[in-house]
Amino acid sequence: MNSTALKNELIFSYSSGNLGEAKSLFTSMYLYLNSNAARKSSIFDNLLADNFNNLDSVSPKNLKYSDCIKIQPKSDFRKYSNEDLNPLTKVLGNIKKVSWKSVYKGFKEYNLPISDNDSIKLIQMDPGISVPLHSHKGKEYILVLDGSFCDEYGEYKKGDMQINDKNIKHIPTACNKNGCICLSITENDIVFLGKFGPFLNLFTFIKSFFK
């Protein structure tokens, strides 16, 4: 699986407005945390804008910025912090006040209130906690928001994204120092493997009825 190509495809789809609500939020958070990804997005934006201008069916108009942007009175201006630009904060508010749901000791989840075909959630793993060996029926997108985790394919730190599919089998483990908080999208259920795989898959199946 070409991870770089998949990441570029996701960013391009975001720039062209072809993503659903969950993946749009996920990608905007990726661009917010990862400056390299943000630069790629800017390149794609410019390419798409140039292509749009070259369409014969589009007649550009000479507009002033004041025709498009409402000028705020000086009294309305305030200083914005970097956190004000955080896409996730705009949806959830303060992430520290999230009502986490414990799945097992050291592993918590929070399902974002977004109606979409894709399931998007926050995951919190305490230091040293692992997810049992598993694969995926569809693609899984994981973005590290804080801390780090590692698996058989490397270490992932804040701003790093991992994309997995049915060909990937791994055991994600949170770093021993700070654990990690991740934003995750799964297009379909994960498939647990190994000795306890059948039991865990049954648990996942039953859990799906209570979402």
157 pLDDT above the threshold of 80? yes
Tokens of 84: 């004000």
What is the pLDDT averaged over residues 134-147? 89
3 state SS of 42: helix
How confident is the model over 61-80, as pLDDT tens digits? 676 666 666 666 665 555 65
Cβ(106)–Cβ(206) under 8 Å? no
pLDDT band at 127 (very low <50, low <70, confident <90, very high): very high
Domain ranges of the chain: 3-80, 101-210
Q: Which residues contact 115 (CB under 8 A, 6 or more apart)?
A: 21
Cβ–Cβ contacts within 10 Å for residue 189, how many?
16
Architecture, CATH, for domain 3-80: Orthogonal Bundle (1.10)
Q: Which residue has the higher pLDDT, 42 or 195?
A: 42
Q: What is the pTM of this model?
A: 0.80
Q: What is the rounded CA–CA span in Å between residue 82 and residue 155?
A: 26
Whole-number pLDDT of residue 198: 55
The domain defined by 101-210 folds into: Jelly Rolls (2.60.120)
